[in-house]
């Protein structure tokens, strides 16, 4: 599978992948993807959810099968179970072979803030204040709206 980020970092890459797909150079029909993160308590169809981001910027423009797209459900009734299930799906599909990383202003990757364990797995994470401030630009500059 492919590990995919959101945010401003991957947009140029996603545009190029879409261009290559539309030009007949790439097919995603046999690709499985795993997104790195998702906000908790934000509807999947919210303009700033990572579900919306990925479908608008990549998935709806390529031939990926819906069942091969894996994005965490930040509204799951049991978020800890959601994390364990996500890890199990990754393992069942052979893990992540290619990882595109987005890096936040403070060096965080996938909401793994500086100081996070290098051995940590998918989990619920409280955002650092600096990350909330950085992400407020997606929420009209209002830090109180960042999930």
Catalytic residues: 37, 106, 108, 113
Strand partners, 22: none
**Rounded Cα distance, 132 and 50, in Å:** 15
| Cα distances (angstroms) measured from residue 124 to each of 26, 46, 87, 94 | 34, 20, 13, 23
What's the burial of 138, exposed, middle or buried (CB within 10 Å: 0-12/13-18/19+)? middle
């Amino acid at each position: 599978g492919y590990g995919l980020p959101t945010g401003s970092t991957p947009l140029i890459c996603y545009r190029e992948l879409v261009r290559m797909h539309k030009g007949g150079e790439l097919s995603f029909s046999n690709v499985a993807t795993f997104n790195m993160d998702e906000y908790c308590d934000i509807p999947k169809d919210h303009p700033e959810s990572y579900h919306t981001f990925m479908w608008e910027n990549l998935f709806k423009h390529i031939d990926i099968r819906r069942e091969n797209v894996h994005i965490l459900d930040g509204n799951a009734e049991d978020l800890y179970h959601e994390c364990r299930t996500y890890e199990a799906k990754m393992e069942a599909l052979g893990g992540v072979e290619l990882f595109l990383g987005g890096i936040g202003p403070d060096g965080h990757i996938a909401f793994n803030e500086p100081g996070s364990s290098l051995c940590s797995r998918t989990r619920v994470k409280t955002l650092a204040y600096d990350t909330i401030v950085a992400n407020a630009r997606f929420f009209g500059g209002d830090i109180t709206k960042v999930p």
